[in-house]
Amino acid sequence: MIIVGNDIVDLQSESASGKSSDLRFMRRVFTASERKSIENHKNPDKALWLHWASKEAAYKVVCKLQKPRPVFSHAQFVVDLKKSVELGLFSNIVHATVKFRAITLEVQFEAGPDFIHAIAYWPFGSGLDEFEIHSGSRATSSADLSLWSDRGWLESNFTEDELLSCVRSESALVRYFSKKSIADQIKYNESRIQIIRPQIPDNYQPPYLLVDGRRSEVDVSLSHHGRFVAWAYSTRRPDSINVMRF
């Protein structure tokens, strides 16, 4: 299977502005070569968040590969931005690799004028012959956010186990929209799908997908920042020799 991780950055968020001028932050988070790449970019702040989102997305993948999960030190996840998409999944202007110890991950971006969405995956290469990656993002509206106070909406769209992970409106919305996307892709009714985030041993465990109460091979990752929610997941290709199993 293909393991995915994602991260989205709202570029219009107050926390995203002018960070490339924060030398203490830059030295703590980025290697010398990464800082040079950011400083030489025509838009240093955007380059910074491309690197940041790559690290965050890659860490989510590594947490699924290594138990116990490693302590997250951003500088240990080394990003190399590329200027072509020859190996990529999406028709954007850049992709990246991230190296963490002996692991190398591929990262693709979906970007707009006000957001960056990074999707990391492992392994790349032959694994993409059988699996494909899907992703999406959405700028939440005030109407979306108001659903958090609608108990009927919550109970009709989430199980009790799912609601344990919905600690705020954005965490509920990203599950809602990602489940709709997954259900459409695998041709299942949304009511049969759950996205669970284990609470044991702590509340930082990666989410996983259940179909009819059974764990699925569909790997999923969720993210939200500022106005945006975003998701990524992998499914077996319809033309693969093997049949998708649940």
**Per residue in 178-213, pLDDT tens?**
999 999 999 999 999 999 998 877 767 899 999 999
User: Where are the chain's structural domains?
Assistant: 3-136, 138-236
Within this chain, domains 3-136 and 138-236 share the same CATH topology: yes
**Of the candidates 155, 154, 114, 159, which has an alpha carbon nearest to the alpha carbon of residue 138?**
114
Confidence (pLDDT) at 95: 86
Overall CATH class of domain 138-236: alpha beta
- Tell me the CA end-to-end span of the chain in Å, nearest whole number: 13
Asked if residues 198 and 205 have their Cβ atoms less than 8 Å apart, the reply is yes
**CATH architecture of structural domain 3-136:** Alpha-Beta Complex (3.90)
As given in the structure block, the two tokens for residue 24 are 């203490």
Confidence (pLDDT) at 125: 67
Collect the ranges in the chain with pLDDT lower than 70: 83-94, 124-126, 203, 240-246
How many H helices and E strands in the chain? 7, 11
pTM above threshold 0.85? yes
Confidence (pLDDT) at 200: 77
Instruction: Print burial letters for 166-181: b (CB count within 10 Å at least 16), e (below 16).
Output: beebbbbbbbbbbbeb
Confidence (pLDDT) at 93: 52
Q: At 30, which helix (H) or strand (E)?
A: none
pLDDT digits (tens, 9 = 90+) for 81-104: 876 444 444 444 568 999 999 999
Confidence (pLDDT) at 2: 94
